[in-house]
Amino acid sequence: MEEEQKAILFKISSHFPSPQGVKISYGTAGFRADASILQSTVYRVGILSSLRSLKTQSVIGLMITASHNKVTDNGIKIADPSGEMLTQAWEPFADQLANASDPQLLLQLISEFVTKENIPLDGTWTGEILVGRDTRPSGASLLEAAEQGIGSVVGAVALDMGILTTPQLHWMVRARNKGMRATELDYFKQLSDSFRCLMDLIPNKHKLNETDDKLVVDGANGVGGEKLEILKKMLDSLAIEVRNSGKGEGVLNEGVGADYVQKEKVTQHGFGIEDVGIRCASLDGDGDRLVYFTVPSNSSGDIDLIDGDKILSLFALFIKEQLSILNKEVDKNATNNYEACLGVIQTAYANGASTDYLKQLGLEVVFTQTGVKYLHEKASQYDIGIYFEANGHGTILFSECFLSWLDARNNELSAISKGSEQQKAALRLLAVSNLINQAVGDALSGLLLVEAILKHMGWSVHRWSDLYQDLPSRQLKVKVVDRTAVVTTNAETVVLRPHGLQEAINAETAKYTRGRSFIRPSGTEDVIRVYAEASTQEAADNLANSVAELADQFLGYGSNK
């Protein structure tokens, strides 16, 4: 590494000392903590994103957000060239950078890594980093720290894309690296055009009643609500009312948002008895999670939740149907046949009833560790890979090979049987591939796809909700001394360490009909997460509490909530 580069890094790094006595850990999707201690971390991730851009000779993304966390938190995510999360191979380096105790150690780590990875720092290549942030008050100052980090690396430049949803930034990175236009307007145009295409292909133009045609969306008082207000102006065939849009007095993610709705299963702020029977949806703070719900007619305050598992099931059902139509009456002797491999990816948090339903459809279902990076990697191994977490984060991936074949097949069908059901199926699948955000889970694109499929099916939200009945479940958190003391295997469903804990969980679970429970260390908080499901809500609650107590006993002090 050149002496000039070392001098620049040493000088600027001295202005961003690491917080004393604090260890920052790279979680399932980047760094996240109280915003007051993140200046040095964000600065150093700015350096990392520059090195990543120079290494890959591609555009990289840097997003400042803490997603569904409280407003006083913030965090930072990196988007790799394809729009996916930062490659796991670089995560240890990210951890080392974030926790370097002084500028000298930081400089040593960077120098060794640059040499090891053969990263060009001689000005022969320009690194380009797209930077975005959500609506958190701390975002502006952290953005400046990120830009300082990017500017510390010779040949790297930051492009401030403004206030965005996390999925918008990931989409922009992917689009830029594919040689496409990548402004926010381009994003909105691609989504709205693809949605209109699907609407135009609805069979028999199913007509729903006025209640079923209305959609009310909780924007979590965040950036997603703001962007949906813009997007809905481009959609003349969808009646959307946005509440908790972030323009009022509400607080980001406080008593609102997809995480609150999915975890608590109660009516959030801004919704009540006047919404009984209406189709409702909820986004999270940075717009990458989506759940649906309805308000029942009783006054209990509970909601009927339609979570990521049912969104996945709806998508899988629709795509399976289109593939079946496309392959109907295929010439067995033709040389251009393509038997698409469709896979469904879930985590241990998926409700057992959803897994049973998907398998009954004849679909291949596989499990991974919790975290988008694991789901995305597995889904990319299929021609069409659908993944969703129960929390509402997920998307659909289409392989380039399949899309090339599909485009050619559509052209062929257009020439020999234009307007046929097979050609319409091909057009629908192509439209889905453009509507869904293939870089990362996206609440806005996912919402439009849900709405298009419901209208295609002629289904009300209640018909969708009745696909299967969820097993009652409960999630808890246990504060522990050291979350890393828990080591799991088998997609995080089995505890390897501490020894004896899994046997205790098994014994407790065996007491309940259809009981299932597991624990795992959080990727974003200093807690152990507990999940339990059983045949009744009381049983699920009791099982979760019992397993939480076991975790507390094996792992030291703790308090449940």
Which backbone phi and psi does 272 adopt, to 5 degrees? -165, -155
Whether 73 has a binding-site annotation, put simply, is no
Q: Cα–Cα distances in Å, from 108 out to 1, 104, 112, 166, 534?
A: 10, 6, 6, 32, 53
Whether 540 has a binding-site annotation, put simply, is no
Whether 52 has a binding-site annotation, put simply, is no
Whether 200 has a binding-site annotation, put simply, is no
Whether 411 has a binding-site annotation, put simply, is no
CB atoms within 10 A of CB 460: 18
Strand ranges inside 35-103, DSSP E: 59-64, 73-79
Which residues have C-beta within 8 Å of that of residue 319, sequence separation ≥ 6? 342, 384, 386, 396, 429, 432
Does residue 464 contact residue 314 with C-beta atoms inside 8 Å? Answer: yes
Q: What is the Cα–Cα distance from 387 to 390, expressed in whole angstroms?
A: 10
Q: What is the Cα–Cα distance from 127 to 132, expressed in whole angstroms?
A: 16
Torsion of CA 179, 183, 184, 188, to 10 degrees: -50
Q: What is the Cα–Cα distance from 348 to 1, expressed in whole angstroms?
A: 45
Residue 67: active-site member:
yes
Whether 400 has a binding-site annotation, put simply, is no
Pairing of strands 279-283, 214-218: parallel
Q: Which two tokens stand for residue 440?
A: 């990362």
Q: What is the Cα–Cα distance from 427 to 406, expressed in whole angstroms?
A: 9
Does residue 163 contact residue 135 with C-beta atoms inside 8 Å? Answer: yes
Whether 524 has a binding-site annotation, put simply, is yes
- Burial letters for 224-248: b for 16+ Cβ neighbours within 10 Å, e otherwise? bbbbbbebbeebeebebebbbbbee
Among the listed residues 49, 67, 245, 546, the single catalytic one is 67
Whether 431 has a binding-site annotation, put simply, is no
Taking every pair of Cα atoms in the chain, the longest distance, rounded to a whole number of angstroms, is 71
CB atoms within 10 A of CB 412: 15
Whether 118 has a binding-site annotation, put simply, is no
Whether 521 has a binding-site annotation, put simply, is yes
- The SS3 assignment for 218 reads strand
Whether 41 has a binding-site annotation, put simply, is no
Does residue 455 contact residue 206 with C-beta atoms inside 8 Å? Answer: yes
Does residue 556 contact residue 538 with C-beta atoms inside 8 Å? Answer: no
Q: What is the Cα–Cα distance from 539 to 545, expressed in whole angstroms?
A: 10
- The SS3 assignment for 47 reads helix
Q: Which two tokens stand for residue 338?
A: 């393509």
* Binding site as annotated, residues: 67, 284, 286, 288, 389-391, 520-524, 529
* Binding site as annotated, residues for substrate: 389-391, 520-524, 529
* Binding site as annotated, residues for Mg(2+): 67, 284, 286, 288
**Known catalytic residues?**
67
